[in-house]
Amino acid sequence: MKDKNILITGGAGFIGSNMVEKLIETNNITVIDNLNNHVGDKFIKKFNANKNFNFINDDILKTDLEKIKNIDIVIHFSANSDVRYGSDDPMKDFDNNVVVTQKILEYMRKMEVNEILFASSSTVYGEAKIMPTPENYGPYMPISSYGASKMANEGFITAYSHYYGIKGSIFRFANIVGKNSTHGVIYDFINKLNKNKNELEILGDGTQEKSYMHVIDCVNSMIFIHEKLDKTDIINLGNEETTSVKKIADYVVNGLGLKNVEYKFTGGINGRGWVGDVKKTFLDIQKLKNLGWKSKYTSDEAVKTAVEETIDQLN
């Protein structure tokens, strides 16, 4: 992907900022972000002096997107990404995920932008009965408003693809970890232990088990796969292994050089971390592999590396 004019929504956030770093030297990058991510422009301000970079501090829900001209490709990360609080305000996921995506697609239709890379999620599967879960698993029965919003977004992208010839690469993420993260289990554990080095509260029972992918593998595979595809398709992004929450706690404790930390599990509903938490997620990545992709990091290695990176950034 070179010499393209690329719009990255949510480009100041966790995965978006890593994507900017990946593409900035060989493409013209426009980021739109309302900086509602707890860190402002911390991760992208270093690009302000780069002639290939343009930043728009604005809310997609409220702005006129048609002021953004001459875009070839949209990479769409913008969303309410904190799954945990969906039950408190489901409309937040609807507005910031579904309505925003629909607005992006309308912008693409009107401005004749024909390619989109979309950050979907394994949460669309809900509590899948088949593990590892392939892309053609169904019916989808998400158990969170976040998962439901991503499922709706996928439907609109495939509909616009059929209507208007848009090529949509839809990526169902496993748990993405690494530098520039602003929330999530690793981030939370480090913050908790920085406040109390003797005790760590762990949501759920610690046996929650998910596939983790490092953010560098995530952004690299998105570009790699998009260039391989010649039409709209859906791809699981993840690893062939899973990592438990208890193991992540151990990695964080060791990374901080702590000893004798007492783990206090909240229990939750059937050991879940919160209402809407899928206790086990394990994606079938055979389609990803068949397209020629191999991740640099396994699930455990992704977590270990992310622990080191997040400790460095927070401390």
pLDDT in tens, 70-88: 999 999 999 987 666 667 7
Binning pLDDT at 50, 70 and 90, where does residue 45 land? Answer: very high
Q: Is the pLDDT of residue 193 over 90?
A: yes
Residues 6+ apart with CB under 8 A from 144: 83, 86, 87, 93, 123, 276, 277, 278
In single-letter form, the type of residue at position 13 comes to G
Predicted local distance difference test score (pLDDT) of residue 145: 95
Predicted local distance difference test score (pLDDT) of residue 274: 75
Percent of the chain with pLDDT over 90: 90
Q: What whole-number distance in Å separates Cα of residue 188 and Cα of residue 285?
A: 28
Q: What is the token pair recorded at 171?
A: 């990526």
The residue among 281 and 268 whose pLDDT is bigger is 281
Domains and their CATH numbers in the chain: 5-176+214-237 (3.40.50.720), 178-210+241-282+294-314 (3.90.25.10)
Percent of the chain with pLDDT over 70: 98
Predicted local distance difference test score (pLDDT) of residue 275: 82
Compute the C-alpha angle 259/266/196, nearest 5°.
35
Region 5-10: what's the mean pLDDT?
98
Q: Are 67 and 58 in contact (CB under 8 A)?
A: no
Predicted local distance difference test score (pLDDT) of residue 277: 82
Q: Is the pLDDT of residue 134 over 90?
A: yes
Q: Supply the angle between the helices 14-23 and 215-228 in degrees, to the nearest 10.
A: 60
Predicted local distance difference test score (pLDDT) of residue 146: 94
Predicted local distance difference test score (pLDDT) of residue 315: 82
Q: What whole-number distance in Å separates Cα of residue 266 and Cα of residue 264?
A: 7
Residues 6+ apart with CB under 8 A from 177: 184, 186, 212, 213, 214, 215, 302, 303, 306
Catalytic positions, written as ranges: 146
Name beta bridge partners: 170: 118, 234
Q: Is the pLDDT of residue 137 over 80?
A: yes
pTM of the entire predicted model: 0.95
Q: What is the token pair recorded at 4?
A: 């393209």
Predicted local distance difference test score (pLDDT) of residue 276: 78
Q: Are 149 and 95 in contact (CB under 8 A)?
A: no
Q: Is the pLDDT of residue 38 over 90?
A: no
Name beta bridge partners: 29: 6, 53
Predicted local distance difference test score (pLDDT) of residue 83: 66
Binning pLDDT at 50, 70 and 90, where does residue 89 land? Answer: confident
Predicted local distance difference test score (pLDDT) of residue 84: 63
Predicted local distance difference test score (pLDDT) of residue 85: 61
Q: What whole-number distance in Å separates Cα of residue 83 and Cα of residue 271?
A: 17
Q: How many CA atoms lie within 13 A of 39 on its CB side?
A: 17
Q: Write down the mean pLDDT value for the chain.
A: 95
